[in-house]
């Protein structure tokens, strides 16, 4: 099965959980908001590559007055996009038909699916080469002054998520704004409409997580329990950095962010994870198969770890964010 067919089959359930809980992954967007809040000029054109059903486009288009394009290999995923006034681009798995130049290109949580199979396993070297090819294409499609931002589960798990690199601009401000108070959590801050005057008042737990990470959860649990399986090759960010620098862009931001996904209770959290990863019986809402929702969350607690804070359930989703800028 190609990745395109695989996502066509997952599309309905994948988008179902996002439409029922559109704010569950709101924290994923925080690094993008931070990067944008520090820019003199905001992007007027954004390409959401590996954009799927539009999670990033939905989140950012509320806050950014730009023309959005979703580029994805799966028509099934893009068919789930319910917004309007955007362009859809069906790309080949190697992005060889990718077109256009953009002020900001984002790749959020998709690159690990850009794989070359040998038998039914991802070939590490060939997959690295494919990912390098795609990212080179994307870097070459960034307008002068524009940004390429890649976020994904890294090949090498850092010592801990939130183990921030100190060599990149902006990280101190992000820490100051986001983690001042390590127990107080205000999701409403995402209502901010004007990114120019963005004041991220979102305080979250430090949530530094040295334990299991999404890679472990995917390889040891999802791959074995999702009927469709889960084959991935996690990107090597050092290799990507070299590729993007060779294309003339400069690294401006890098962080390992233990992004909490936020839920009101364990059924909601378990159901969201079941739908997102096509585990167990498909249901329209949490609680229709409450036993499955709860057992899913027990697995999530084991494989990813969860935190309980102020009556919320937070799952640990550790990913790396990397942003490069093309000079003017």
170 lies in the binding site for ligand SAM (CB under 6 A): no
Give the residue, chosen from 31, 43, 51, 214, that forms a contact with ligand SAM under the rule CB under 6 A. Answer: 51
Residue 317 near ligand SAM by CB under 6 A: no
Taking a C-beta distance cutoff of 8 angstroms, is the pair 162, 256 a contact? yes
d(CA 243, CA 320): 17
User: Contact at 8 Å (CB) between 45 and 67?
Assistant: yes
Q: Contact at 8 Å (CB) between 198 and 33?
A: yes
Interface residue with ligand SAM among 38, 93, 175, 179 (CB under 6 A) is 93
> Does the footprint of ligand SAM cover residue 260 (CB under 6 A)?
no
Which one of the spans 110-118, 221-229, 234-242, 320-328 is the region binding ligand SAM (CB under 6 A)? 110-118
Q: How far is the CB of 17 from ligand SAM (least distance, A)?
A: 10
What whole-number distance in Å separates Cα of residue 102 and Cα of residue 141?
Answer: 6
Q: Which stretch binds ligand SAM (CB under 6 A): 30-38, 46-54, 184-192, 297-305?
A: 46-54
Select from 258, 246, 264, 255 the least CA-distant residue to 312.
264
Which residue has its beta carbon closest to ligand SAM?
A: 52
The nearer residue to ligand SAM, 10 or 177, going by C-beta atoms, is: 10
Q: Which of 17, 27, 31, 55 binds ligand SAM (CB under 6 A)?
A: 55
Distance between CA atoms of 185 and 291, rounded to whole angstroms?
29
CA distances from 106 to 228, 263, 296 (A): 27, 26, 30
List 142's β-bridge partners, or say none.
102
Q: CB under 8 Å to 73, separation ≥6 — which residues?
A: 2, 3, 4, 7, 90, 91, 92, 93
109 binds ligand SAM, rule: CB under 6 A: yes
Q: Is 50 in the site for ligand SAM (CB under 6 A)?
A: yes
Considering only the stretches 108-116, 224-232, 262-270, 290-298, report the one whose residues sit in contact with ligand SAM under the rule CB under 6 A: 108-116
Residues in contact with ligand SAM by the rule CB under 6 A: 3, 7, 50-52, 55-56, 72-74, 77, 91, 93, 108-110, 113-114
């Amino acid at each position: 099965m190609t990745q395109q067919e695989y996502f066509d089959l997952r599309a309905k359930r994948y988008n179902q959980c996002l439409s029922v809980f559109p704010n569950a992954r709101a924290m994923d967007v925080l690094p993008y908001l931070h990067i944008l809040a520090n820019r003199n000029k905001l992007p007027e054109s954004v390409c959401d590559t590996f954009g799927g059903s539009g999670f990033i486009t939905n989140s950012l288009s509320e806050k950014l007055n730009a023309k959005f394009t979703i580029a994805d290999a799966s028509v099934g995923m893009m068919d789930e996009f319910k917004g309007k006034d955007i362009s859809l681009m069906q790309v080949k798995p190697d992005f060889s038909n990718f077109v256009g130049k953009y002020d900001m290109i984002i790749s959020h949580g998709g690159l690990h699916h850009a794989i070359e199979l040998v038998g039914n396993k991802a070939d590490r070297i060939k997959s690295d080469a494919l990912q390098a090819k795609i990212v080179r294409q994307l870097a070459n499609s960034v307008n002068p002054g524009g940004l390429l931002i890649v976020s994904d589960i890294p090949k090498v798990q850092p010592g801990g998520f939130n183990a921030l690199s100190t060599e990149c601009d902006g990280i101190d401000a992000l820490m100051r704004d986001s983690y001042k108070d390590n127990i107080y959590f205000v999701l409403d801050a995402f209502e901010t409409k004007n990114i120019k005057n963005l004041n991220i008042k979102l305080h979250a737990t430090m949530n530094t997580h040295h334990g299991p990470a999404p890679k472990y959860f995917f390889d040891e649990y999802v791959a074995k329990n999702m009927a469709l399986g889960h084959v991935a090759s996690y990107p090597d960010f050092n290799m990507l950095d070299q590729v993007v620098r060779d294309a003339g862009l400069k690294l401006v931001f890098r962080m390992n962010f233990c992004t909490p996904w936020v839920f009101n209770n364990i059924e909601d959290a378990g159901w969201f994870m079941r739908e997102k990863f096509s585990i167990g019986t498909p249901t329209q809402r949490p609680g229709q198969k409450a036993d499955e929702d709860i057992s899913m969350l027990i697995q999530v607690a084991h494989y990813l770890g969860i935190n309980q804070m102020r009556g919320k359930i937070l799952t640990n989703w550790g990913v790396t964010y990397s942003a490069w800028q093309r000079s003017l």
